[in-house]
Amino acid sequence: MEKPHILHLITSEKNASPFDVNMAHDAGWTNILPYTGVEQSEIQALVQDAIFSRSPSGLKRTGIFFGGRDTHEAMDMIEEAKKHMVPPFEVSVFADPSGAFTTAAGMVALTEKHLNDGFNQGLDKSNVVILGGTGPVGVASAVICAKAGANVRLVGRSMEKAEKISAICNDRYQSKNVSPGVDEDKQKYLKDADIVLNTGAAGIQLMTDDHVKSGENLKICADTNAVPPSGIAGVDVMDSGKIMEVSPSKCRGIGALAIGNVKYKSQHECLKLMYTSDKPVYLDFEDAFKFAQKSV
């Protein structure tokens, strides 16, 4: 009898995400075991219990998924897990805290596509402003864009927090070109922006019609907010490259459901790769972005 597929879903949060459980089942993981409230110091024991309890054929059907709500914590957990593997006792690992990695991947992949299709321009040297940028999706988006050569402005309500997170993006992920910004100065940042990504809280509009009108160089506005009102005025949840009516520069809008569709495909492919790969894989936002690019 074939060994069953077992995914160990680990999170520091009180509850495992039903979204991640559903996604894992749909990707072929038939047994999903949640571990909640997990601390970094507990990773070694969990990992080694998982790897030393199955044969090589069983290990190929065993995976570890890190959830939670903190981008850097999830990356720390991947590194901690990798440190305690003992080849050939090793399994695949994937992190996607609050779906942030795959959401960011979907948004940036669509942005890249419509930037190229509509303006014959790439992310390299583009000026990107990320509103509500200090959360998990904003951070992942900033790193993906910066690694592609964009100049990124990470905007939050607190300059102190934005400075701290921008420094982590640059130092830890070698992004180098992520700068902090504060929400009250966003009008100034929008003047030179090619791209605006809204990753702020649901139901809060961070960019009005007037903001859109003032963006003379705007080419792409992407919004992850699916709860009315839209995070960016004039962007509908289903938009995927639609020209925004009030934009003087014929900016293209990308809505939350269009982003979600690519996010879903990216997460599905990452979860599948965990057990179809010939050798163990360690997947994060960069891998999610590669899958997202293939699906747009």
| Same domain for 271 and 220 | no
Q: What tens digit of pLDDT does each residue of 275-291 get? A: 999 999 999 999 999 99
CB contact set of 36 (below 8 Å; sequence gap of 6+): 11, 13, 14, 15, 16
Nearest to 107 by CA among 85, 128, 93, 125: 128
* pLDDT score, position 21: 97
CATH code for the domain of 41 = 3.40.50.10280
Q: Is residue 12 part of a domain?
A: yes
60, 50 in Cβ contact below 8 A? no
DSSP tag of 148: T
Q: What pTM was estimated for this model as a whole?
A: 0.96
Nearest to 115 by CA among 195, 225, 197: 195
Whether residues 143 and 45 share a domain: the answer is no
140 assigned to some structural domain: yes
Closest CA to 263 of 101, 145, 78, 64: 101
- In this prediction, residues 106-119 reach a mean pLDDT of 99
Q: Which residues pair with 242 in a beta bridge?
A: 253
- Is the same domain home to 176 and 227? yes
Give the CATH number for residue 151.
3.40.50.720
Among 209, 282, 212, 224, smallest CA distance to 249 is for 212
Order of all β-strands in the sheet with 282-283: 31-35, 6-10, 62-66, 92-95, 282-283
Whether the Cβ atoms of residue 220 and residue 251 lie closer than 8 Å to each other: yes
**CA-to-CA separations, 179 to 43, 49, 104, 187, 192, in angstroms, rounded:** 33, 42, 18, 16, 14
Percentage of residues in the chain having pLDDT higher than 90: 97
| Residue 289 placed within a domain | yes
**How high is the pLDDT of residue 174?**
83
**Cα–Cα distance for residue pair 99/199, rounded to 1 Å:** 12
Exposure string over 170-201, b if 16+ CB within 10 A, otherwise e: beebebebbbbbbbeebeebbeebbbbbbbbe
Question: Per the structure block, which two tokens stand in for 21?
Answer: 């459980």
Q: What is the pLDDT of residue 267?
A: 98
210 and 234 fall within a common domain:
yes
Mark whether 171 and 134 lie in a shared domain. Answer: yes
Are 28 and 81 part of one and the same domain?
Answer: yes
Q: Are residues 67 and 210 in the same domain?
A: no
User: Would you put residue 99 in left (φ > 0), alpha (ψ -120 to 50) or beta?
Assistant: left
Report residue 278 as tokens: 């010939």
Q: Are residues 121 and 226 in the same domain?
A: yes
Residue 1 has pLDDT above 70, yes or no: no
- Give residue-wise pLDDT tens across range 153-181: 999 999 999 999 999 999 999 888 999 99
Q: Provide the residue range defining the domain that includes 127.
A: 104-259
| 135 and 238 in a common domain | yes
The answer to whether residue 1 is domain-embedded is no
Q: Are residues 71 and 185 in the same domain?
A: no
